Amino acid sequence: MTTSTEPDFLSQNGEPLKPQERLKWWSQRASEATAKGARWHRFAIHPEHDNLILYEGWHVRPVDADGNLDEGEPHFQFSPIIPDKSEEHNGHSNYRC
């Protein structure tokens, strides 16, 4: 049986959180998704943006044709920022979490 690697539930947070606050945030997202049928959960911290954390949930454990776990890459979402011409960007990324 093959299932989709796209999560059924996805939530991310870009606010600076202490480790205990991150755990609480992830736990709340997992509880909300579980109440709506999620049975497989993944939690991630973006490798380049320490404040960006992600919760993903699936109704069914995502597997490939051989039955191996297949969650795909974490589904972090970035949205482009429209630069303000009055602002110096000093080489910063034009993406916001």
- Give the total number of structural domains in the chain: 1
Least confident of 18-22, 48-52, 55-59, 79-83: 79-83
Name the β-bridge partners of 32.
none
Q: Is residue 2 part of a domain?
A: no
pLDDT tens-place string over residues 64-87: 999 999 999 999 987 755 555 544
Q: Is residue 38 part of a domain?
A: yes
Check if the beta carbon of residue 12 is closer than 8 Å to that of residue 52: yes
Q: Is residue 1 part of a domain?
A: no
Cα dist. 28→23, 40, 80 in Å? 9, 15, 28
Check if the beta carbon of residue 56 is closer than 8 Å to that of residue 71: yes
Q: What is the domain extent for residue 14?
A: 9-67+75-96
Q: Is residue 28 part of a domain?
A: yes
Q: Is residue 47 part of a domain?
A: yes
Q: Is residue 3 part of a domain?
A: no
pLDDT tens-place string over residues 14-47: 999 999 999 999 999 999 999 999 999 999 999 9
Check if the beta carbon of residue 54 is closer than 8 Å to that of residue 68: no
Q: What is the pTM of this model?
A: 0.77
pLDDT of residue 77: 86
